[in-house]
Chain A
Amino acid sequence: MNCKHAAWLMSLRQDRPLKLGENLGLRLHLSYCPGCRAYRQQLDFLQRACRAFTPPESTEAPPSDTDTPSSR
Chain B
Amino acid sequence: MSVSVGGQEAASLLQDAGFLAGLRRDLLRFAQLYLNQDTDSAEDAVQEALLAASRAPERFAGRAAVRTWVFGILKHKLIDEIRRQRRRVYLTPLDTGDGDDDFDAQFDASGHWNADDRPPVWSDPDASLQQRQFWTVFEACLTHLPEATARVFMMREFLDLDTPEICTHLEITPNHCWVILHRARQGLRLCLQARWFGEEAA
Contact = CB atoms under 8 A, between A and B. Distances in A.
Interface of A: 2-5, 7-8, 11-12, 14-16, 34-39, 41-43, 45-59, 61, 63, 65, 67-68, 70
A61 to B, nearest CB: 8
A37 to B, nearest CB: 8
A11 B153 CA distance: 12
Interface in B170-202: 174, 177-178, 181-182, 185-186, 188-189, 192-193
B113 A43 contact: no
Contacts of B63: 57, 63, 65
A46 B185 contact: yes
Interface string B90-119: 000000000000001001001111000011
Given A2-B107, A50-B158, A12 B30 contact: no
A7 B186 contact: yes
Interface of B is mostly: helix
B119 A35 contact: yes
Contacts, number: 118
Given A38-B119, A38-B121, A53-B135, A3 B112 contact: yes
B189 A67 contact: no
Contact of A50 (B125, B157, B182): B157
B72 to A, nearest CB: 9
Contact of A55 (B29, B121, B189): B29
A35 B113 contact: yes
A19 to B, nearest CB: 13
A17 B115 CA distance: 30
Given A45-B125, A55-B139, A56-B136, A15 B119 contact: no
Looking at B113, B128, B193, the one whose CB has the most chain A CB atoms below 10 A away is B113
The residue among A34, A42, A61, A68 with the most chain B CB atoms within 10 A of its own CB is A42
24 contacts: A2-B107, A2-B111, A8-B182, A11-B181, A11-B182, A12-B178, A12-B182, A15-B177, A15-B181, A16-B178, A35-B113, A36-B113, A37-B121, A38-B120, A39-B189, A41-B121, A43-B189, A45-B122, A49-B138, A55-B139, A57-B63, A57-B64, A63-B63, A67-B16
